[in-house]
Homo-oligomer: A and B are copies of this chain.
Amino acid sequence: MNPPAAPQSRRERLRAETSAEIKDIALKLLGEGGPDAISLRAIAREMGMTAGAIYGYYENRDTLVTALITDVYGTLLDTAEAARDKVPATDPAGRIVAWGMAVRAWALANPEGFRLIYGDPVPGYRPPAEGPVAEAGHRACAALTGLVAAAWPKARKLQSATSAWSDFDPALVAQVREEFPGLPPEALALSLRVWARMHGPVSLEVYGHLGRQSRDLTALYRAELADLVRSLGL
């Protein structure tokens, strides 16, 4: 995926390859059998190794899971950003809808990945408050803030609640203020709500709660996105 072309010793290269192979097999098992199928023993079995050997590459199972989440989260955001960028920046509403549809499509195509990111991925796992997963969250947040920023001139009037930069994570604030200077904290708050609004239907659908009530969930989601852009004054 990302070989930084730095000259490595043979040992380092092999090590990196094994490390990547572990992750790849874990992702394969995730896709095939869901989060539960990610067991160190199963991975090792697949590689012709012993489970203990993995501890030379990842501190423990949770560390590996965190690496997986980081990867999967990254591909989700890549997908969403690509879909967004197919719509010209002159059409902010279209970009928001494109993002939303892409997220849902990805989630339905990779339900296990979605569960890994947004659910209880694996028995005792708790996502660390800091680290790459939080950064992926910030990336998602910043992207949504970009979508909101494009709509902000119109959306501003519809916002009543006030916010302060101090309400938000410092790292996120720094990222957002650099990328979108002049944007007020209220826009960041709004982007979180936009995030949640897209997340709700997708999460309910992926976990099977909506499917028990209705078919044609696509239409439902489209209607929700339409209402969302209307809420933003677009």
- Give the interface of A toward B (CB within 8 A): 35-36, 115, 118-121, 123-124, 127, 129, 134, 137-138, 141, 158-161, 163, 167-169, 172, 188-189, 192-193, 195-201, 203-204, 207-210, 212-216, 219-220, 222-224, 226-227, 230-231
Task: Check A220–B200 contact: CB distance below 8 A.
Answer: no
B36 pairs with A224, CB closer than 8 A: no
21 contacts between A and B (CB under 8 A): A35-B120, A115-B120, A120-B120, A123-B123, A137-B209, A137-B212, A161-B220, A161-B222, A163-B216, A167-B214, A189-B223, A192-B214, A193-B201, A195-B204, A196-B201, A196-B204, A196-B210, A199-B200, A199-B204, A203-B203, A231-B231
A197 proximity list for chain B (CB < 8 A): 197, 200, 224
Q: How many angstroms from the CA of A172 to the CA of B214 in the assembled complex?
A: 9
Q: Is the CB of A227 within 8 A of B119?
A: no
Tell me the number of copies of this protein: 2
**Bound-complex Cα distance A214 to B158 (A):** 21
